[in-house]
Structure 1
Amino acid sequence: MQARQLYHNTLHCFPVGLTDEQQQLVHAEISAVVHDGERLILGSDKPIPGAERSSVFAIDIDDQGRPQEETLSYYTQPLIRQAIKYEDFALTVDGRHVLATTGFDRIHPEDHSLNDYNHLLIWPLGDPDRVQVVDPDPRDGVEGSLELRQRLTAAIGMPYYKIEGLAAIPGDKGDGLLLFGVREQGQHFDDFNYVCRVVGAHYRTNEQGQLIFVDEMREHYAFDPGQFEAVEHLCGLSSLEYDPYNHRLYLMTSFENEQGGIDSIGGYLWVIDMADFARGRAPSLVEDETGGPLVFTHKAEGLAVLDHDRLFVAYDNDRELALGNDPEREQKYACEAPWTLLRMIQ
């Protein structure tokens, strides 16, 4: 499968020059995006300060799929503002609810000071005021999806891990199968390997809009990008996206490493149909129009399916301001996030 770039630009996510409480410049680090049928919902893995702002916001797109900055609106519900380090969004299989996951990459062993990094949230489509925590700790006053964290730990089998993918696919139990993409795993946050693993469990949603897991979390898929000759970088999974129009799953991998003394960031896009996914077969590396591998020049972390052949890609370049091969300018503002619109070609 090939991809043709339709548009590439940047999106202003908040005012130019915005600073945090320490007077440090705030950077747009978009790591999550989903299309809810009408708008794009995007999330940053770093807080966006201001009582009228949050790390999650929605924006209209025009008929071409391009974001319209003047329509940007933040989700300021307390639960959405509280969670930290959003990594991926998804729709439930029936399209009636939005799901948002944080990275689950840190927890304090003795207190609840890092619980905000451990959240899976759900809200009805178009109604974020009704947001709820999925699989919360049963103890009063303890916030976060701590029961879910225990499920993830058991399935991944490592004390340290980082979740960066989320997708709901049709399943044979309940309403569907909720998949979590694992990017890092190891003994500690400074002792890990990049991986491309997918764990998950079947779920159902009840009349109160709560998501309930109906079986045990387990590994459903894994692959090694390094086994593909065309892949020249050490990668980890950075996004999952189910394509209901074509019954397939997109996987995105990104890299951030030093090569030849130069820091290098970027990513690759992969696709697999659901029958091959169920059989554990290798995905296909998406190509560009020349027949070579499609290589993103920014750190690709957010992916949304717009329709049967168009994808929206959002990038999290951390604090990197360089725009790489952009012919019009060399750097972006810290408040801008690069994005690309692709058309998939069979």
Structure 2
Amino acid sequence: MNYRLSAILLTTLVLSYGCKTAKLPTASATAQITEEGLLNCFAPGTSLNGQPVWCEASAALFDGKNVLFANDKDMPAGQSPVFEKTPASLSDSTQAPTYLTQSAFVSARKYEDFAQTPDKKFVLLTTAFDRIKPGSHDWDSYNTILYWPNGNPEHPIVLAPDDTSRTSIGYRQRIAQVLATDEFPGAIPYFKIEGLAATDNQLLFGIREEGKSYSDFKHRVKVISVSYRIEHIGNTDRIRLANDWKLIADFDPAKAEPTLPQPLALSSLEYDPQRKRFWMLTSFESNSQLDAYLWTISPDDLYANKPFTLVRDSQGQLLHFNHKAEDLTPLDNHRLLLIHDDDRIRTTVGSRTRQPHQAAYTIVTVK
């Protein structure tokens, strides 16, 4: 009787454990492209200083209601590089975007990536941090991180060591120090941020380029982290960064998959709290050739500096995009929206050719 009871108990425990572990997400995934389209970022013929403006969309985020986008180019007066559309109207050319014209959005330069805290209370948006002008503040706006309460983009706040700065230039030196190398001890002269992700207590920045200058650099896939906390000041909640900046990942895509085109470099980093994993995009551009690949990794493996895993389709083929994928955002439990920055190349979506006022997008269904 006791043996039978023990066997039943053991079986129950094994089944219970199996059910629980079966629900845990893995660090690998299969996916397929289920939709492609062209997003109208502004009216055809839009120009600035006598030159046509191209939509070089570099960031996207679904905040639960609307999809926010950011163009990494300046816009004419009255418009903004940051705008939003409803998910249902992405390819609707008759419905113009809503532009976020607050001064903080307009003054920052070269946006690269959105992020959202896992509790969905805050949205963040970073620029590339890829240029400064010694002895001048003229280019400080290229070094800016904005954040705001989700659903309230009318009141963006600059993430800075103090409450009066108009840019985030105060963090630049700490990032440069974390990225120091044997070639550039102390601090690296040049770097470019193209990824931003938020966990419950840390911000993670993805590095695409680093080196001597914007014309002398190497492509990279690096991730640095810094802890944050929320501080309540009157009626405002502010994000405060700790001083624990750290390089947590240095990944070489060529070693993981030697058949991939080179040089591949990071173009987006996102944390997916629903699946408890990170997504990363790497992109390739050479002359008029563009491509991008989707990767994934568990938090434990990322912080242990283990390799990312390439996402494949159901036939085992590498999932890739004939575009320069720049950012991704989960739309629901199964779909990811990718926005592409194809620069000024007239790429195609089906039988349609991209026009200057448009950006290509892709929706991927994850299994």
The whole-number CA distance in structure 2 between the counterparts of 1:159 and 1:12 is 37
Alignment partner of 1:87 is 2:122: no
Who is 2:261 aligned against?
232
1:246 aligns with 2:275: yes
In 2: Cα distance, 1:109 partner to 1:282 partner: 37
Within 1, Cα distance between the matches of 2:283 and 2:289?
10
Q: Select which of 154, 166, 179 maps to 2:177.
A: 154
Amino-acid identity (%): 36
Q: TM-score, normalised by structure 2?
A: 0.85
Does residue 2 (structure 1) correspond to residue 27 (structure 2)? The answer is: no
1:108 aligns to what? 133
Deviation at 1:200, TM superposition (A): 1.4
* Alpha carbons 1:136, 1:146 under 8 Å: kept: no
Does the 8 Å CA contact 2:161/2:240 hold for their aligned counterparts? no
SS of equivalent to 2:47: coil
Deviation of 1:71 (Å): 6.0
Task: Give the CA deviation at 1:47.
Answer: 1.3
Distance (Å, rounded) in 1 between the aligned partners of 2:134 and 2:119: 37
Please say if residues 60 and 68 of structure 1, whose CA atoms lie closer than 8 Å, have aligned partners that are also in contact: no
Secondary structure, aligned partner of 2:286: strand
Structure 2: gaps spanning 5 or more residues: 1-28, 181-187
| TM-score, structure 1 as length reference | 0.90
CA distance in 2, matches of 1:16, 1:311: 28
Q: Report if aligned partners of 1:136, 1:143 keep a CA contact under 8 Å in 2.
A: no
Secondary structure of 1:34's match? Answer: strand
**Counterparts of 1:25 and 1:71 in 2: how far apart (Å)?**
18
1:209 partner SS: strand
The letter for the 2-side match of 1:87 is E
Displacement over 4 Å in runs of 4+: 65-69
Q: Which residue of 2 aligns with 1:50?
A: 77
How far apart, in 1, do the equivalents of 2:91 and 2:222 lie?
Answer: 31
CA distance in 1, matches of 2:162, 2:111: 19
Report the counterpart of residue 59 of structure 1 in structure 2: 85
RMSD between aligned alpha carbons? 1.7
Q: Residue 60 of structure 1 contacts residue 71 of structure 1 at CA under 8 Å; is this kept in 2? A: no
1:131 aligns with 2:161: no
Q: Tell me the number of residue pairs that the alignment of Structure 1 and Structure 2 aligns.
A: 327
**Where do 5+ consecutive residues of structure 1 fail to align?**
171-175
Equivalent residue, structure 1, for 2:46:
18
More helix by share: 2
Match of 1:257 among 286, 299, 302: 286
Per the TM alignment, residue 206 of structure 1 is displaced from its structure 2 partner at its CA by 1.5
2:327 to 298, 302, 308: 302
Please tell me whether the aligned partners of residues 239 and 251 of structure 1 are also in contact (alpha carbons under 8 angstroms): yes
d(CA) in 2 for partners of 1:307 and 1:119?
Answer: 29
Q: Find the aligned partners of 1:327 and 1:180 in 2 and give their Cα distance.
A: 34
